[in-house]
Structure 1
Amino acid sequence: MTDDKGMVAGEPHYIREYRRMISSLRKRSANEEEVMERAVGGAYEKTGAVQAALIDELIPERPIHIIDVGCGSGRLAYALRGQKRIAYSGFDIMADLVEYAKSKCGRSDWRLETISTLQLPVPNACADMVVFMSVFTHLKPGEIKIYIKEALRVLKPGGLVVASYLDPNEPRHTKGWLPAPLQLLARLLGRDVMLTRTSQKMLAEWLTDGGFVIERAIDDGSFGQHVLIASKSGGQIATADGSSYEN
């Protein structure tokens, strides 16, 4: 069942709120390109280039498979589009954003798809890196932990997670933060989506408990948010049912 705004009863908050926000952006933006840029936070090319540079730094030479969770309108994919060494799988909850990313990147050999759950439609141990840029910032703690489990499953041993987050201990991440009632109103009006603040300590604990080793933290402001980088530890490969086997 849907309501007069196209909302589906019982659908996840992250789908419902992003649909509202994109609808609102279309009413307030000059053109579709502006909508697609604002839907991922703006600074499309600049931010994508910074993220792509980090990937080149972390895995500089060999061929790699990257899974970009919350790929949006293709900000990172567009920045990486010229790299033939990269196999790319991008997933997002909004079909309009995914279609824009496909047309923007022009890489018919890359996989860009719409998903509606927190499960990734890829095999076990298939990826060298899983990227969560501006994803954990819009999810509840339990949802973040599900994605951490999925990252463990789909990564090869030694593979990397790159995750951005808003830290409640960072003044830049709390400046202008709306009180809870006003934030809820903004979400209902399509002016924003859920914003989640997670401390570095907490996110590091979740990753460590989930089978990862923290490799590096970036908190210099270069990404707009803080970033944690963690590697899949040991030779264990997790499976979808929560069990594991030796690689």
Structure 2
Amino acid sequence: MDSHSTTLIGSVQRAMRLLEAVASREQGAPAKQLAREAGLALPTAYHLLRTLVHEGYLRRDRGLFYLGEAAERLSSSGAQQKRRSTVSDTLAHLRDAIGAPVYYAIYREGEIEVVCVADTPANPAVEEWADFRETAHAHAIGQCLLSQLDDKSRRDHLDRYPVQSITPYTVRDKDRLLRRLERTGRMEPVVERQEYALGAVCAAIPITAGSTAATMAISFPSHQVDRLLPAAHKLQSEMGRLLGTLAISISI
């Protein structure tokens, strides 16, 4: 490694020490204090602080330094990745306990969003052959999320993504779907049999966490349909124990 590369690495290390020092001072800190805590000569600290302010990682106000927007975005991204990892671990646990693919989805800003899926080669997830966002009426995930919306939001979604036949078993029209959704019990599993994909049956469990509609779902090959409801009830039971983890992950 040449001396120039060594100098660059040293500068990064010193800048990181300054960032850590600022992060530990929510009320801000002056350059002299930060230099002392980071173990840097004051001129070096001043140079790095100015650079970090210029790049948006720090901001300066009345002689004190605070974390800037760029550093806060990094922190937010890290927290989001940690939440995603927590959800992935939770789904993997449920997948292994139930012996079926497990899906986690939310309704955000008017759209169906499948956040995470846990499956195995022996028990693969249903292939998304038709856009999940446009076919909420046809799959258990979408029906479960729509059932949690108010009537106006539900109709708005179906106006944007009209009911259409995906398979011979898909609900035929909007009015019939709306009646079905209205009859859905608040915490009942939502079940669909080959409405989205031939050869697949699915069940989705609603998740109550504030005002956000969310769901966890499972699927089986249609020849294993007799396993669907027992597995859905097991999923619901397991979810009750893991509700804190799921509620935290809603913000992903």
**Whose RCO is larger (CA < 8 A, sep 6+)?**
1
TM-score by length of 1: 0.31
Looking at CA atoms only, which structure, 1 or 2, has the larger radius of gyration? 2
Would you tell me which structure has more helix in proportion to its own residues?
2
Q: When the two structures are superposed, what TM-score results if normalisation uses the length of structure 2?
A: 0.31
